[in-house]
Structure 1
Amino acid sequence: MTDLIITIALCVAVAIAYATAALIQARHAHLTVPELIRLPQLWLALGLNALGAALHVTSLAFGPLSLIQPLGVLTLVIAVPLAAMTARRRVTRLELSGMTSTVIGLAGLTLIISTAATRTLTSAQLLMMIAATLALVTVLALQGRRTGASPLWEAVAGGATYSVCSALCQTVVVTVRDTGASALLRPITILAIVAIAFFAVTATILTQRSYRSGLGAPLAVTNMVNPATATIIGVVLLGEHLATTNVEIVLAVACGVLCALGVAQLARARDVTGAETQPPAANKDVHLNA
């Protein structure tokens, strides 16, 4: 019972850290990278993301992945009301409906498709995954930078990049645990650590840009893509297996549809609230630069 309480408390702390970081990033999503580097708030957001990641790793020592992953959707539950509160308005019915649909769908998908990793990436797999991630993120980022393009392209790229960071972190941590600190001196481990740092910064920039027209829909997409990418990595590279019974397939499809509905509602809520409320100066800049 004690471990369960610790796990839930850590997961709530993780969600608060990630949600606060997302809110900070969203408020400055209209700035360029050089401007962001000089902004103290960005470094605060990076610190909160790092804290969330550290707490997430810690929570795995106290509870099963099957419990911890569904609790990750608390980030969305906290972020949407927090964004409304800082804007001094109430959460709209459309936002509440979209958030509820997304959270239920995400939790259901996670419970159905998630599996615990039992292996680490080989050197060849690690190199392949880094190369594939660089290619994918480049394509999605360029797509998102087109005039009039949806910010959800960058949300997808950010979610996938965060997931790859997690896979690389797991490989490094498990390798060091099993073989000792000397593993940190291996060239492949050094490459993995450099890739983790690079992808972490890249994911932060991508998700920040995805918030330029609103927080709810991009954050929901990021929360969907992250576990989905982790599942693909587990199945393709780590030998994990998905349940394939007819009932589970039907449930997975239903949860996916519910998630899509929730994201659509959150995207629509962004437009409605933007039209009905007078945005502050910072938000005006966001629309001018979107």
Structure 2
Amino acid sequence: MTDLIITIVLCVAVAIAYAAAALIQARYAHLAVRELIRVPALWLALGLNGLGAALHVTSLGFGPLSLIQPLGVLTLVIAVPFAAMAAKRRVTRLELSGMTNTVIGLAGLALIITTTGPGETLTSGELIGLAAATAAVVGVLSLKGRRPGASTLWEAVAGGMAYSVCSALCQTVVVTVGDAGPATLLRPVTIVAVIAIAVFAVVATLVTQRSYRDGLAAPLAVTNLVNPATATAIGVALLGENLATTPVEMVIALVCAVLSGFGVTQLSRARDVVDTPSLAPREEVSTSV
């Protein structure tokens, strides 16, 4: 019982850290990269994201992933009210409906779509291929999201994929070093993996930041959906894992996916964050890229 309580407390703390970081990032999502570097609050957001990641890893030592994964939707539950409070208004009925549908759908997917297997690490060829393919896909999605009038959800998808691949590469490096010792850090493929982790971490942060420029909740929901979906795909395709899901469960999972998509659509319509330029200091407002 003690471990269960600790797991829940840690998951709530993770959700609060991620939600607070997302709210800060949404506030400055309209700024260019060179302007973001000069914003102290952004460094606070990065610190909160790092804290959230550290607490997430810690929670894995007290509870099963099957419990921790569904609790990840708490980030969205906390972020929407946070955004409303920052805008000094109440959560709208459409936001509440969209948040509820998205959370139920995401939690259902996390509970139903599970994998079993040895949980292997990436081989050198798989690691390089995954990094190259991810860079290409994330690049295309990011460019598509930067086009005038394009949906910010393209960048949210790119951010979710980059975060997930970053985690997969981290897992491979940590397991490899643990099995073969620190000397493996000097191997060329390990160096490539570490560089890729750093690049994907930065790219994920930047594209996710940009995805918040027209509203927080919908991009955050999409990122939370794409991240575990990509992780599952990597596990099945490259890490020797198998879907432990029956045909009936797959049908239920499809319903959950549709429900999540409907919730994201509602959140997109709600535009839960007030216009970013009105929140940011006047001298920091810029439309440059």
TM-score (norm 1): 0.93
Q: Is 1:266 aligned with 2:256?
A: no
Q: Is 1:282 aligned with 2:269?
A: no
Task: Tell me which protein shows more helix as a share of its residues.
Answer: 1
Deviations 1:137-196 (A, max 9, x none): 110011001110000000000001000111111111112222222222222222211111
Q: Alpha carbon RMSD of aligned pairs, Å? A: 2.2
Give the structure 1 partner of residue 241 of structure 2: 240
Contact in 1 for aligned 2:109/2:256 (Cα 8 Å)? yes
Give the structure 2 partner of residue 143 of structure 1: 144
Aligned residues: 287
Give the structure 2 partner of residue 6 of structure 1: 6
Residues 184, 101 of structure 1: CA spacing in aligned structure 2 closer, same or farther, 3 A cutoff?
A: same
Partner Cα separation in structure 2 for residue 243 and residue 279 of structure 1: 47
Contact in 1 for aligned 2:213/2:276 (Cα 8 Å)? no
SS of the aligned residue for 2:122 comes to coil
The amino acid that maps onto 2:188 is P
Partner Cα separation in structure 1 for residue 179 and residue 3 of structure 2: 24
Equivalent residue runs for 1:107-126 within 5 Å:
107-115=107-115, 118-126=119-127
Contact in 1 for aligned 2:115/2:241 (Cα 8 Å)? yes
Q: Is 1:191 aligned with 2:189?
A: no
The amino acid that maps onto 2:198 is A
Residues 110, 18 of structure 1: CA spacing in aligned structure 2 closer, same or farther, 3 A cutoff?
A: same
Partner Cα separation in structure 1 for residue 217 and residue 18 of structure 2: 13
Equivalent residue runs for 1:247-262 within 5 Å:
247-262=248-263
Partner Cα separation in structure 2 for residue 82 and residue 104 of structure 1: 20
SS of the aligned residue for 2:212 comes to helix
Moved more, 56-65 or 112-121: 112-121
Q: Is 1:95 aligned with 2:95?
A: yes
Contact in 1 for aligned 2:32/2:288 (Cα 8 Å)? no
Give the structure 1 partner of residue 73 of structure 2: 73
SS of the aligned residue for 2:62 comes to coil
Deviations 1:76-116 (A, max 9, x none): 01111011111111111111111111011001001111336
The amino acid that maps onto 1:54 is A
Partner Cα separation in structure 2 for residue 283 and residue 248 of structure 1: 49
- Report the identity percentage: 73
The amino acid that maps onto 1:280 is S
Instruction: Compute the displacement of 1:289 (Å).
Output: 7.5
Give the structure 1 partner of residue 60 of structure 2: 60
Q: Which runs of 5+ in 2 are unaligned?
A: none
Equivalent residue runs for 1:159-198 within 5 Å:
159-198=160-199
Give the structure 1 partner of residue 155 of structure 2: 154
The amino acid that maps onto 2:28 is H
Contact in 2 for aligned 1:29/1:286 (Cα 8 Å)? no
Residues 125, 133 of structure 1: CA spacing in aligned structure 2 closer, same or farther, 3 A cutoff?
A: same
Instruction: Compute the displacement of 1:229 (Å).
Output: 0.4
The amino acid that maps onto 2:280 is A
Instruction: Compute the displacement of 1:218 (Å).
Output: 0.4
Contact in 1 for aligned 2:21/2:48 (Cα 8 Å)? yes
Q: Is 1:218 aligned with 2:216?
A: no
Partner Cα separation in structure 1 for residue 259 and residue 165 of structure 2: 25
